[in-house]
Structure 1
Amino acid sequence: MSFKLVIPARFASSRLPGKPLLDIAGKPMLQRVYERALQCGAEEVIVATDEARIVEAVQAFGGDVVMTSAAHPSGTDRIAEVAAIKGWENDTIVVNLQGDEPLMPPSLVQQVAHDLANDPDASIATLCTPIELATEFENPNCVKVVFDRHQRALYFSRSAIPYDRDGEGENLGYRHLGMYAFRVGFLQAYTTTTPCPIEVLEKL
């Protein structure tokens, strides 16, 4: 199995400006993420950014970086631009690893790429994990996902879904892990679509 890995990194975060370059034990957070990404077995590991300071930081630690447009509304759009610049084929698998995940286990990156590679009918794959605490289930910052018996995602929401009417369920639900694997052809098509009202409402 072969795949590419792109780390979208923004400097102008509204909640924590400059977050990718925050120091973690003597290294920028983004460098920690990049070094973890190198352990995943990807053919290429690339940082995608619109910020010169991030470009300089990545080049300083010897990483591969691509400058992208500042107009992108999301990291997904930034990755699509990298795929176009690099000329990746439509069936190429690319994994999106967030630039603020320095502790993400390489095994999870490999899993999401493997899941997509082994399902020819799927265009995108992502991961989730069981929610064990009621406080997490009710927290809107914890994105929940509901899926069918074939592990096909049906809905993502900040709300507490599914609703357990009788209070007898053993599982509170599943938390979505914000990591995706895309087939490049689908990625290019997806990023040209207009966000639907629910996507805008939920900020997902």
Structure 2
Amino acid sequence: MLKKIAVIPARLEAQRFPKKLLQDLGGAPVIVRTYEAAVRTGLFDQVLVATDSKDIYQIIRQYDGKAIMSQKEHDCGSNRIAEAVLDLDYDIIVNVQGDEPFTNRGDLERLIQVFEEDKDHKVDLASLMHPLTEESEIQDPNNVKVIVDDLGNAIYFSRSPIPFVRDESVDIEFQKHIGIYAFRKKALMEFYKTAPTPLEMAEKIECIRYLEHGKKIRMVKTSNRSIGIDTPTDLEKARVLWES
């Protein structure tokens, strides 16, 4: 049986919405709601918050959660997670974004299932995507788009609309990448040893580095339209959804 851990990388000073993880959502901070959602799935041997913030560390501990302080500065979530699990014995590490408090069991279970069915270890990572239908959503650079091959493996991620539709008679479904993904520990540790690539830095999408180093990312479709809290507007939407 695969040993599984969920790690929530939590950086305090997000560029677009500083201290968003400490904002109130239904009576508790966003990061606490995300941690509780991951624990509530019952899928993991452990759930851990990896953070650069003493405030976040103390709040998670205040709610009887498990947290670890990063000892190094990190430019992406994967590196923060890699440091946290370096000496831990797990087969599958699931990255749950700290600003995704509506993560549900079904989606995480399907990510884990990818590895349970991958007996030949051909898949290095698994992640989620869902269709974008509104033109404003497709054009929004805050929505990372992904294109896949016939097997569902990622070909590329971009903040631009991909593919570019030159022939409008072709029926194309745009897919949004949801920033929740799982990886084999070996793939994560190999990523940790590499430097950011120009494409990764240009797009500000760390998954591109995995692709450039030949890693296979299996994308799993979901109908759940989770709200990632990137802006104050997103937070208001999340509060409405929380109360519904």
TM-score in terms of structure 1 length: 0.93
Distance in 2 separating the partners of 1:178 and 1:117:
21
Match of 2:62 in 1: 60
- Say yes or no: does 1:20 pair with 2:21: yes
**Residue equivalent to 1:109:** 108
Tell whether 2:35 aligns with 1:34: yes
Aligned residue number for residue 49 of structure 1: 51
Once the two structures are superposed, residues 43-99 of structure 1 have per-residue CA deviations (whole angstroms, 9 ceiling, x without a partner) of: 1000001111111101100001111134111111111011114x225xx10100001
State the distance in 2 between where 1:199 and 1:162 align: 18
**Counterpart check, 1:187 vs 2:199:** no
Structure 1 moving runs of 4+ over 3 Å: none
- Where do 5+ consecutive residues of structure 1 fail to align? none
1:68, 1:171 → 2: CA distance? 42
1:153 equivalent in alignment to 2:154: yes
Give SS of 2:86's match. helix
Residues 136-184 of structure 1: per-residue CA shift (max 9 Å, x gap): 1122221111111111111111111112222123333111111110111
- For residues 175 and 13 of structure 1, the distance between their equivalents in structure 2, rounded to whole angstroms, comes to 21
Which residue identity is paired with 1:44?
A: Q
| Cα shift readout 1:104-130 (whole Å, capped 9, x = no counterpart) | 222112211222332221111111111
Amino acid at match of 2:167: D
Give aligned-pair identity as a percent. Answer: 36
Which amino acid is 1:25 matched to?
G
Match of 1:81 in 2: 83
RMSD, matched Cα: 1.4
- Secondary structure, counterpart of 1:108 in structure 2: helix
Corresponding letter in the other structure for 2:154 = A
Deviation at 1:11, TM superposition (A): 1.1
Displacement of 1:2 in angstroms is 4.1
Number of aligned residue pairs: 201
CA distance in 1, matches of 2:52, 2:61: 14
1:173 partnered with 2:174: yes
Give the partner amino acid of 1:118.
E
Report the alpha carbon displacement of residue 103 of structure 1 after superposing the two structures with TM: 1.1
Q: Distance in 1 between matches of 2:3 and 2:130?
A: 25
Q: Contact 1:93–1:117 at 8 Å: present in 2 too?
A: no
Report what 2:93 is aligned to.
94
CA contact (8 A) 1:132 1:171 kept: no
Structure 2 runs not aligned, ≥5 long: 206-244
